[in-house]
Structure 1
Amino acid sequence: MSVSESPSRAAAGRPAGLPARSPCRRGRRDAAVAWWRGDHSTGLDEERRAGTVGPGLDSPTTAALLTWMVERTISMHCRDDDTSGDAQVARSVGRAVWLAVYGDAPSGS
């Protein structure tokens, strides 16, 4: 049985012993996500001004999508993997981010 299939996690929908909601914890997470989105949006704006990404790239939306994608991918990977797939997940996430920002380019692998 995998970790995600364990009865305690399946019943609660979260790790055993973790409260359903923790406003303090959620507040810190929300603040971190807002910072990441803002930081990446600013970085994407700088890349656009430098001409390294297309003028049509919507920085705030792209930053929000990439932040959510990376956060969710890592969360699911940590929940379900025994760390043996860490390098592959890192390569795949990096590749997906590169494609979303810069477009198609050789993967180098």
Structure 2
Amino acid sequence: MLFQNNPEMVYGIMVGMFVGDLFMLALGLPAVRMFVKIISTQQHILLPTIVVLCVVGAYALRNSAFDAWLMIAFGILGCILNKLAIPLVPVVLGRILGPIIEENFAGAMLMT
């Protein structure tokens, strides 16, 4: 339907995506050496840096210390689940998609 009503918009999006890919290629290839150096940094330096940046980002999102503490709590929960060999992906997907699935299931049950 979109192709029939607004073909110029669809092709504009495609061209924009292609141009964006070219820019990402042009900027990404020279940056590979820098990323390799960052990744090869020793873990005792890299991991605290990542944690500090995550805490600063969580705080800066809404200027709330609660967000930073919540991020730390979920990080600790993730470490505990990792130590117990519980896969994180199903837990995260269940937490995010659970309410959506429940709402749609209730709507489907009302239709039948």
**TM-score higher than 0.5:** no
Higher relative contact order (CA 8 A, sep 6+): 1
Q: Give the TM-score normalised by structure 1.
A: 0.41
**Which is greater in Rg?**
2
Report the structure, 1 or 2, having the larger helix content. 2
Q: Give the TM-score normalised by structure 2.
A: 0.40
